[in-house]
Structure 1
Amino acid sequence: MATMNVSLPDPMKTWVEARLKDGRYSNTSDYVRHLIRRDQERAQALEALQQAIDEGLKSGDAAPFDFKAFKAEMRKRHARK
């Protein structure tokens, strides 16, 4: 495992130390790894969302939507028998 040294302003250091006191994280490295994992997950979610937006934009104009016909079809398809 690689090692990194990070400098923090005093208020941030105090914040990290407070997170350690509640017992959720065993040490500073554990807390920082957790934050990095969350950032990675967020970046992946944003990328997936952007891909979906791009696909939607490339798919062309939306087709007209007939709500009454849709509702009738759903009632027909899911009617209790």
Structure 2
Amino acid sequence: MGTMNISLPDQLKRYVDEQVAARSYGTSSEYIRELIRRDRDREALRALLLDGAASEAGTPVDAAYFESLRRQARRSAE
């Protein structure tokens, strides 16, 4: 695992320390890793949403669509 040192203003360091204590993280590194993972996940979700918005329209989702799904589920359960 690589090492990275960061400098924070006192106010942000206090905040990180408070979050570590309040949320039962073992270390500030665990807290920062969690923030980075969440940011990475948010970026991935954003990319998926943008891809979806840029794609062509699909089949309309209406009452008939959901009824066809119910029929398929009933057939699968038999």
TM-score of the alignment, normalized to the shorter chain, above 0.5: yes
Bigger Rg, structure 1 or 2: 1
1:53-68 equivalences in 2 (<5 Å): 53-56=53-56
| Structure 2 residue identity aligned to 1:38 | R
TM-score, normalization by structure 2 = 0.70
Runs of 4+ in 1 over 2 A off after TM superposition: none
Unaligned runs of 5+ in 1: 60-64
Unaligned runs of 5+ in 2: 71-78
The answer for the alignment partner of 1:45 in structure 2 is 45
Paired-residue identity, %: 32
TM-score, normalization by structure 1 = 0.68
Q: What CA distance in whole angstroms lies between the structure 1 residues aligned with 2:38 and 2:54?
A: 24
CA RMSD of aligned residues (A): 2.7
